[in-house]
Amino acid sequence: KAGVTQTPRYLIKTRGQQVTLSCSPISGHRSVSWYQQTPGQGLQFLFEYFSETQRNKGNFPGRFSGRQFSNSRSEMNVSTLELGDSALYLCASSLAGSNVLTFGAGSRLTVL
Amino acid sequence: DQQVKQNSPSLSVQEGRISILNCDYTNSMFDYFLWYKKYPAEGPTFLISISSIKDKNEDGRFTVFLNKSAKHLSLHIVPSQPGDSAVYFCAASASGANSKLTFGKGITLSVRP
């Protein structure tokens, strides 16, 4: 079955712009989590959605937001981009009640 | 505050030898632990996990050991193969439907032929 699909894979933006990243989870997975990976910082938790509700939120400023649709697809948005937002943004999905996340390949964001 | 710590950023081992990757945690509420492997340009893939009710879990060449009193876990790879060269992330979660995975910073493993 198809894995977690993230689009776009690569994108370049300039400071002050905003960006929207998309994630399609594995069919049947209703939980979607987002993580930011930067060099030397590992995977930092952004937020988790389940049945269109945000269940958990990490320690990121309000410029980072997300949502989940009724088909479990999710989007995250970053407004007023800063240079430090350059990172790999990873989406992961899981079955309800499972601790095992399945990750997509990520969206590589570069902010110039 | 880093609740999951992988203090060694890199490890290099000879092919065929054992690789031991260490991970420490500080949150005593964590009761489920996972290891993920990540190749460049790919997302992390699940490798092996262990519940706090166990102290060892084995899957082929991969074994995870958990020492709850020391809040320490380790991943053993025996024998190591060049294809094991990747970044390895340790992750932990606490019980509860709303629990999230907390990851360490990762260890880059290089297996020399």
H/E element, A53: strand A53-57
When comparing pLDDT for B98 and B19, which is higher? B19
CA atoms of B87 and A111, how far apart (whole Å): 24
Looking at residues B94-111, what average pLDDT do you find? Answer: 86
- Among B62, B64, B43, smallest CA distance to B52 is for B64
Under a CB-based contact definition with an 8 Å cutoff, are residues A47 and A33 in contact? yes
Look at residue B27 in the predicted model and tell me its pLDDT: 92
Does pLDDT of A98 surpass 60? yes
Q: Chain B: residue nearest A48 by CA?
A: B100
Does pLDDT of B97 surpass 60? no
Residue A28, Ramachandran bin (φ over 0: left; ψ between -120 and 50: alpha; else beta): left
A1 — pLDDT class (breaks 50, 70, 90)? low
Q: Which two tokens stand for residue A31?
A: 């939980």
SS3 category, B25: strand
B73 — pLDDT class (breaks 50, 70, 90)? very high
Does pLDDT of B96 surpass 60? yes
Looking at residues B75-85, what average pLDDT do you find? Answer: 97
Q: Chain B: residue nearest A91 by CA?
A: B43
Compute the count of residue pairs across chains A and B with CB atoms less than 8 Å apart: 55
A16: closest CA of chain B, how far (Å): 26
Under a CB-based contact definition with an 8 Å cutoff, are residues A76 and A66 in contact? yes
CA atoms of A58 and A35, how far apart (whole Å): 9
The answer to whether B43 contacts A103, with C-beta atoms less than 8 Å apart, is yes
A21: closest CA of chain B, how far (Å): 15
Mean pLDDT score of chain B, rounded to an integer? 94
CA atoms of B54 and A41, how far apart (whole Å): 29
Mean pLDDT score of chain A, rounded to an integer? 94
Percent of chain B with pLDDT over 70: 96
Does pLDDT of B94 surpass 60? yes
Chain A positions in Cβ-Cβ contact with residue B104 (cut-off 8 Å)? 42
The answer to whether B101 contacts A102, with C-beta atoms less than 8 Å apart, is no
Looking at residues A50-62, what average pLDDT do you find? Answer: 93
Alpha helices in chain B (DSSP H): none
A77: closest CA of chain B, how far (Å): 20
H/E element, A74: strand A74-78
Look at residue A111 in the predicted model and tell me its pLDDT: 97
Q: Which two tokens stand for residue A42?
A: 């590992």
Q: Is A48 exposed, middle or buried (0-12, 13-18, 19+ CB in 10 A)?
A: buried
- Among B10, B12, B3, smallest CA distance to B88 is for B10
Look at residue B100 in the predicted model and tell me its pLDDT: 86
CA atoms of A56 and A74, how far apart (whole Å): 14
